[in-house]
Structure 1
């Protein structure tokens, strides 16, 4: 930890006292040798002034180091690998450097009577330590480490016992006061202090630099939103006995990731107690065929290229034949489908026809412009690259349009989907808090008109389509469901990936602040909460709706009516959701 202010000033006083003594003797020698007193006094006075100034500077420097905290002390003492605090966008503490302590026992600092007393006390203080471990220093009669990783409060408690022969040595460690909360987002460090994952690794240089000035590093995370997302997602994941679950909340205008959750989570203070699988950031590393939520992107491309419009009509009465393959819808339709019907009834046939009308050249050009052919653009180091078709045939093009045959990470998907919801701009995701005035990076991929139409389609889907379970009255929620069969061993399995993409509020300026919520469950097993269903509508949509209900006040979205409310919308029949997979 370095020297304290008391130690610094004490040593400084001693230094000055030594110099004053020497000056006094110099004055005596000057008189004895006949040197003019005035000349000697002047020289001695100058020396004293210089020493006083030097001491004041020394004392001030030590005092500032003591008062400004750990990061500054580290800079003064040369402590290696000191790290600045991590805080959320509202200044709430997420990670900090603290001292843990190692406890040593030295029987040579005890009397014979003390030894038995100290041994009994240690057995009571550490009931979980093996008796042999406590006995070892006494048997070997020398100073030995008894245990480590003792927190400051426990150390103070032990010191209050006043036990002889007990000493502590401080060890700087990274502490996460919220343990599991935001574990994938915040990340963890190595024992030496270097970041290993999450923001701790992504922001390594800034965290190290800010430690020298004792300035925290501020993340885009809102701890209130993070907590609400984790709470709702975890409850459904446990009920569904899911393999894993992912949640992401972003501001679609700025690209800020306000919350990122990966379940199962883990205690950042005890990473060694969890397996690599439990510490995996599923949002960044796992690649999924995400199913019908991908229709948000493919329908947007059709609208933007002008190959489809709300006036377009598609024949969904018969399966679509592509070579030897048939694409069909789970629900039979006795009518032709408008583009709105294609979206809110989640028609694989209709969406495939939209993609085929766009063509592989134009569609893949949009995919590339949306970043779907690379890993997600975000400061995190974990994001994986996509798995793409080896060639873009009519069949692979149609499959990609309804979220099959192309596996991407949830972070890649939300980055691309946000461009359909924010006026058309592809913006990198960021874990840094936006300063509110710097120019926002981004490339316009869609027109503002395309974005506005997609927002309205998503609102209609929540009111009378497959996403009704996500509706939050007055918050103008839009969304899209998705259920995809998981591929495995060259075929599609009976396991599903169930998702919901939500956005709110859908009204207001097309380039204004609005928020996307992505929730994905890997291999839900069906539960009473979803009526036994494993599909995105019953499983993921309610979670998104509950999250939006809870976080709306935190992002300043007030309840009000919109143009889609009323009996003509909310009492319309709801169609069944299509499952993408082996059809």
Structure 2
């Protein structure tokens, strides 16, 4: 059983006291024998100095352990095999720590016959929900027995205040999550024995254990303020929309850091047994979705980067695109030739299909591979699922994937891929660890800097005058792309939708500067009051991204600047037909 700090300090006092007593009696013996005491005094003085120094070291050790502020740190210092370091956010806010849970034992043989009735009655009052037969059993056993466990330190203290005889406790190290539901999917859980099960707890297992030996915390990339704002906005709309699940991700596209990651429904990390396995899923990492038109950002980027498309390109959207006998429609037919900007901001399936056919399957699959879309997301997390994509690339499968059908990927995979389009052209792995350097982790160049700049401008244009207008946050130069995908059900596309929005801010500034992706996805929204009964990404997901950006920009150091439109001009800005009708 582990020795407490109090017991360690108490034994230190006793050790010094014993030695002082021996020194004092040595001095008395020297005087009693009429010997010269000078040399004896010097020796005694030297011994006392040595003892004082040893005790000072003992006290410094105890003070260091006490000031560390965590039972988990004490466990590490005392050699507890299951000790884990604290997890903190990027600003040092506590996310997870080791604490002691207590088991309560009752020993009837350590009570008088008069005490037993009193103790039994007291335990029934203290634990009104414990079965009476369990209490009767320990008193009838005639030996020390376990009555209950999983008691917190405050509960143990309360019971000790009763001063009951025959009551004792044994401590067991467990993981505690002070914020409960906040960041649950990101932080993850541990088993009772201390091994990580999910999230950062599992992904950084070795680092957490090593840091415990050095009494140091492990800092995650998470910003708790951003995490809280993301969860708050996501939760409100998920409930309003009666969605099956919802996902939110915020990354720094320069460094690849996952600043926040939310998965709804939520669960309390301290009460995992109260939730189903489905409720505890990290939907951002585990679930695969056909994400719809947000994928067009990647497709347009491929067209620009290969030189098979330019801002001067014009596409025939006068009639559906027919491929292998299948007609590709636009939700709102424009029945006209349209330029590349209109293909993007009006989310034209026909125009995107023409673009993909011009670039060819060879170019598209080469970029998909370079962006990591043919494998699970590149991150420390162990949960990310591998994508589902066509085994054979035909003209039809090429066009379908170009506008967001026929390829199912995790939200984390999409965040990793589109990050390479927004940061100057580099695909970088996503990380849940705080990045302390000044230069980002080396990435792989996929797009040219010119392509990246053009896409930032296109995404900004989409928020100013396209389907993403409801994501605008005044002064923060938000860009983005909407998505509304049919959800496959029982082997065919059904009536439910995946509504999404991929936002980026700020769209201006140096390409190698800090820039943030906010990805919001709702699975099967039912069209609640907040979206006027509509289920599209522009009405459901885009406003969430805008509100999150408005709230978190100060935490991320993004300064507001004068927007392209003044408030008066904003009301006069043209409304795209897609916005007016609720379709994309």
2:427–2:445 Cα contact (<8 Å) kept: yes
Q: Specify the alignment match of 2:215 in structure 1.
A: 214
1:470–1:543 Cα contact (<8 Å) kept: yes
- Relative to the length of structure 1, the TM-score reads 0.92
Deviation at 1:99, TM superposition (A): 1.0
> Closer, same or farther in 2 for the Cα pair 1:475/1:40, shift >3 Å?
closer
Secondary structure of residue in 2 paired with 1:91: coil
1:289 aligns with 2:297: no
Q: Specify the alignment match of 2:450 in structure 1.
A: 449
Deviation digits for residues 276-333 of structure 1 (CA, Å, limit 9, x no counterpart): 1111111001111110000010001111111111111111111111121111111121
Q: Specify the alignment match of 1:7 in structure 2.
A: 10
CA distance in 1, matches of 2:64, 2:403: 61
Secondary structure of residue in 2 paired with 1:134: helix
Deviation at 1:142, TM superposition (A): 3.0
Deviation digits for residues 477-511 of structure 1 (CA, Å, limit 9, x no counterpart): 11111111112333212221111111111111222
Which aligned pairs between 1:415-434 and structure 2 lie closer than 5 A?
Answer: 415-434=416-435
Deviation at 1:532, TM superposition (A): 1.4
Q: Specify the alignment match of 1:231 in structure 2.
A: 232
> Closer, same or farther in 2 for the Cα pair 1:155/1:39, shift >3 Å?
closer
1:379 aligns with 2:380: yes
Q: Specify the alignment match of 1:84 in structure 2.
A: 85
Which aligned pairs between 1:191-206 and structure 2 lie closer than 5 A?
Answer: 191-206=192-207
2:83–2:209 Cα contact (<8 Å) kept: yes
Q: Specify the alignment match of 1:133 in structure 2.
A: 134
CA distance in 2, matches of 1:117, 1:45: 55
Deviation at 1:60, TM superposition (A): 5.0
1:291–1:579 Cα contact (<8 Å) kept: no
Which aligned pairs between 1:536-551 and structure 2 lie closer than 5 A?
Answer: 536-551=537-552
Which aligned pairs between 1:304-453 and structure 2 lie closer than 5 A?
Answer: 304-453=305-454
Q: From 553, 570, 573, give the equivalent of 1:571.
A: 573
Deviation at 1:423, TM superposition (A): 1.2
Q: Specify the alignment match of 1:491 in structure 2.
A: 492
Deviation at 1:63, TM superposition (A): 5.2
Higher deviation after alignment, 328-337 or 43-52: 43-52
CA distance in 2, matches of 1:337, 1:154: 70
Deviation at 1:406, TM superposition (A): 0.9
CA distance in 1, matches of 2:232, 2:61: 47
CA distance in 2, matches of 1:450, 1:336: 23
CA distance in 1, matches of 2:341, 2:388: 30
CA distance in 2, matches of 1:22, 1:367: 85
Q: Specify the alignment match of 2:558 in structure 1.
A: 557
Secondary structure of residue in 1 paired with 2:552: helix
Higher deviation after alignment, 486-495 or 402-411: 486-495
Secondary structure of residue in 1 paired with 2:298: helix
CA distance in 2, matches of 1:356, 1:489: 29
CA distance in 1, matches of 2:235, 2:328: 35
Higher deviation after alignment, 467-476 or 477-486: 467-476
Q: Specify the alignment match of 1:503 in structure 2.
A: 504
Deviation digits for residues 5-48 of structure 1 (CA, Å, limit 9, x no counterpart): 4224134225635864897799899x99x9x9999999999888
> Closer, same or farther in 2 for the Cα pair 1:224/1:439, shift >3 Å?
closer
Secondary structure of residue in 2 paired with 1:500: strand
Deviation at 1:568, TM superposition (A): 8.4
CA distance in 2, matches of 1:12, 1:400: 75
Q: Specify the alignment match of 2:533 in structure 1.
A: 532
- Relative to the length of structure 2, the TM-score reads 0.92
Deviation at 1:418, TM superposition (A): 1.0
2:254–2:440 Cα contact (<8 Å) kept: no
Provide the aligned length of Structure 1 versus Structure 2.
578
- After TM superposition, the runs of 4+ consecutive aligned structure 1 residues lying more than 3 A away are 17-29, 36-76, 562-570, 577-581
> Closer, same or farther in 2 for the Cα pair 1:46/1:232, shift >3 Å?
closer
Which aligned pairs between 1:70-219 and structure 2 lie closer than 5 A?
Answer: 70=71, 73-219=74-220
Deviation at 1:81, TM superposition (A): 1.4
> Closer, same or farther in 2 for the Cα pair 1:41/1:366, shift >3 Å?
same
> Closer, same or farther in 2 for the Cα pair 1:540/1:303, shift >3 Å?
same
CA distance in 1, matches of 2:284, 2:252: 17
Q: Specify the alignment match of 1:464 in structure 2.
A: 465
> Closer, same or farther in 2 for the Cα pair 1:316/1:383, shift >3 Å?
same
> Closer, same or farther in 2 for the Cα pair 1:62/1:540, shift >3 Å?
closer
> Closer, same or farther in 2 for the Cα pair 1:580/1:550, shift >3 Å?
closer
> Closer, same or farther in 2 for the Cα pair 1:41/1:527, shift >3 Å?
closer
CA distance in 1, matches of 2:582, 2:474: 28
1:459–1:479 Cα contact (<8 Å) kept: yes
1:485–1:492 Cα contact (<8 Å) kept: yes
> Closer, same or farther in 2 for the Cα pair 1:472/1:576, shift >3 Å?
same
Higher deviation after alignment, 395-404 or 564-573: 564-573
CA distance in 1, matches of 2:145, 2:323: 75
1:460–1:564 Cα contact (<8 Å) kept: no
CA distance in 1, matches of 2:44, 2:20: 15
CA distance in 2, matches of 1:267, 1:200: 15
> Closer, same or farther in 2 for the Cα pair 1:297/1:580, shift >3 Å?
farther
2:82–2:173 Cα contact (<8 Å) kept: no
1:247–1:519 Cα contact (<8 Å) kept: yes
Deviation digits for residues 132-174 of structure 1 (CA, Å, limit 9, x no counterpart): 2222222334322221111111221222222222222111110
Q: Specify the alignment match of 2:478 in structure 1.
A: 477
1:298–1:351 Cα contact (<8 Å) kept: yes
1:71–1:212 Cα contact (<8 Å) kept: no
Deviation digits for residues 543-567 of structure 1 (CA, Å, limit 9, x no counterpart): 1111111111111223222446684
Q: Specify the alignment match of 2:518 in structure 1.
A: 517
Secondary structure of residue in 2 paired with 1:540: helix
